[in-house]
Homo-oligomer: A and B are copies of this chain.
């Protein structure tokens, strides 16, 4: 099942169900994605019964699947990425006993084609290509195996990051506020079975193709997460209930053969350059720059659709 949210001028948009070929949609009897997730057990069969998609889908009208969420928690669980950043920037060694996770701003997610407004090029504007899941309500103390039953939808995310601000905030231990502005989501939120064998062990085994200003930047595969989404959800739910519509992210997708497949954020490329040659060569994004991201299956299909955005000044 493929869901999307159309921008109808309201803060939450209009939930629709999308045809298997992602060209048409049908309105559904539940107005918003949040409302569907709040009552997923009752709503899911109603949505699954829909088989006619009368309306042509205009990509320009598609908002983020959740335009705003009550909670957004982003992991960082690709050990290649963690090790590269650790070596290049002298960060503390990765704790392999527990996932890294930060609490992000959740009141706004950009749609896949929206311009991204940021205050300054001096902040080190960077993208982070990643995958995420959206849960229904997860009770406090849920274990990692049970947690996977709470994964209702899978999404593709660009976690915008401001790299010159990040280390200043990291060194306080309080985490990121200024360095993590609003994120973006690809058009389609899909139920796990839509990914077939690519959804396995709580991981998305798809290549995430990224282009920066039209040039190939990377196509790392989502599979090698040190902790899967089940572990990430359980980690988040240790001391809190997770509200329906909680979004959990994987962090920047990164693979051990980065020399071959590239990276999913500029910062990682700079880390590789620093390790190899003592200093970073690649600059961060400039206003007017574009980034394009789409996960591709083996058959060439793109389950989540396309993120293609331009960075502009406020």
Instruction: Enumerate chain A interface residues (CB-CB to B < 8 A).
Output: 68, 70-71, 73, 76, 91-92, 95, 98, 100-108, 117-119, 123, 140-141, 162, 165, 168-182, 235-236, 238-241, 243, 246, 314
Contacts and interface: CB of A to CB of B under 8 A. Distances in A.
A128 to B, nearest CB: 14
A86 to B, nearest CB: 11
Most buried by B among A95, A101, A107, A118: A107
Nearest to A246: B107
B243 A107 contact: yes
Contact of A176 (B103, B106, B117): B103
Contacts of A172: 92, 95, 100
A311 B46 CA distance: 41
B173 A101 contact: no
Given A70-B107, A76-B174, A140-B314, 13 more contacts: A101-B174, A102-B103, A103-B103, A105-B240, A107-B246, A108-B243, A119-B140, A141-B314, A162-B239, A170-B174, A174-B176, A178-B235, A181-B240
A91 B239 CA distance: 24
Contact of A175 (B76, B106, B119, B174): B174
A178 B140 CA distance: 11
Q: How many copies of the polypeptide does the oligomer hold?
A: 2
A71 to B, nearest CB: 5
Nearest to A73: B177
Nearest to A170: B173
19 contacts: A68-B70, A70-B106, A92-B171, A92-B172, A92-B173, A98-B168, A100-B174, A101-B177, A103-B175, A103-B177, A108-B240, A117-B140, A119-B141, A119-B238, A169-B173, A174-B175, A175-B176, A179-B239, A181-B239
Given A103-B103, A175-B176, A241 B170 contact: no
Most buried by B among A95, A162, A173, A235: A173
Nearest to A38: B11
* 5 A-B pairs with least C-beta separation: A175-B175, A170-B173, A70-B107, A107-B243, A102-B174
Contacts of A119: 140-141, 238-239
Contacts of A180: 103
Contacts of A140: 117, 119, 314
A55 to B, nearest CB: 30
